[in-house]
Amino acid sequence: MDLLSIIVPCYNEEKNVEMFLDEIQKTLVGFNYEVIFINDGSQDNTQEKIMDLADSNPNVKYISFSRNFGKEPAIYAGLINATGDLVGLMDADLQHPPSLLPEMIEAIHEGYDVAAAKRVSKKGEPIINSLGSKLFYRLFNSISNVKLVAGATDYRVMTHQVTDAILQLNEYNRFSKGIFQWVGFETKWIEYENIQRVAGESTWSVWDLFGYSVKAIIAFSTLPLSASIFLGFIISTLAFIYLMFIIVKYIIFSDPVQGFATTMCTILFLGGMQMILIGILGKYLGNTYSETKNRPIFIIKETNIDDKRLDKDR
């Protein structure tokens, strides 16, 4: 029977990991599986809870980071250490229903490379999050060659061939949803209704989501750089036309140039645009700088995985 490696990134999930494992055990009776918890520098007792579960259950593996590196490095660490024929990715808060796993595994056996879940509603989420999500998907898909599926989540089961393809993209600044789409492969999408967390609160603020969206766009599109050139050309053209208008007006009507307020508004507007465009350029340069430093994506503090695929910290 195929071994299913389930990767579970965790940050301050002490109230959820035990319930999560209980649901997995109920759902995967008769299946061959392992659960790999990635403790991403939690500030609560998540690591202690995971170690207790590992002591009593041989199917539980864990990797604990030296600090909080983020969900993307946690996903990457799990993918590197997953040795199963099939590899799954889930959240620990049970917003990804384990009941979908048998259907996902069956889809792989039917010939699909990936079985992924997507939410058909945002029921229960703040309105600002729902609107922001819709705006992000529309903007991303309009400026990137990689097209995201609206409502798509990280929750999925895939073959190890897909996992190996994903690991070939070892960039430091990672956006997994984009990477999943970029590598391709045949995917079956399984729909489900939005589910609230069973315990605890989300650590993602509106500002965090905004920053994550900017990171995603920069990782998969260079259109903002081209837009900067286009915008600069348009503003310069309009400024030249306006200058010609002032000169002609003065020559024909002897109308002196007036308007201190107009001049100041123009200067401030152009100054603001320059700062925005420099900021866009700075974000791309910052990402390039991060990549060239070649720092490890994560650092492992402790793990109970003996036969790691890592020969060094990545």
- Domain borders along the chain are 3-126+149-201+298-303, 223-293
Give yes or no for a contact between 146 and 178, defined as CB atoms under 8 angstroms apart. yes
pLDDT means over runs of 10, the chain (314 residues): 89 89 90 92 90 90 91 91 91 89 92 90 68 76 78 89 89 84 88 71 62 70 72 74 73 67 69 75 76 83 72 44
Ramachandran angles phi, psi of 45, nearest 5° = -95, 25
pLDDT at 312: 41
Q: Give the Cα separation of 171 and 288 in Å (integer).
A: 10
pLDDT at 53: 92
Q: Give the Cα separation of 17 and 1 in Å (integer).
A: 26
pLDDT at 314: 46
Q: Which residues contact 28 (CB under 8 A, 6 or more apart)?
A: 4, 98, 101, 102
pLDDT at 70: 87
Q: Which residues pair with 284 in a beta bridge?
A: none
Give yes or no for a contact between 61 and 84, defined as CB atoms under 8 angstroms apart. no
Sheet holding 3-10, edge to edge: 187-192, 114-119, 152-159, 86-89, 3-10, 32-39, 60-65, 300-303
Q: Which residues contact 55 (CB under 8 A, 6 or more apart)?
A: none
Instruction: Name the fold adopted by 3-126+149-201+298-303.
Output: Spore Coat Polysaccharide Biosynthesis Protein SpsA; Chain A (3.90.550)
List pLDDT tens digits, range 270-283: 777 777 777 777 77
Token couple for 110: 């039917």
Nearest CA among 192, 196, 204, 201 for reference residue 124: 196
pLDDT at 102: 92
pLDDT at 287: 73
Q: Which residues contact 182 (CB under 8 A, 6 or more apart)?
A: 146, 169, 220
pLDDT at 129: 66
Token couple for 292: 């060239």
End-to-end CA distance of the chain: 31
List pLDDT tens digits, range 4-47: 999 999 998 888 889 999 999 999 988 999 999 999 989 889 99
Helices (H), 2-115: 17-27, 46-56, 71-81, 101-109
pLDDT at 195: 74
pTM: 0.74
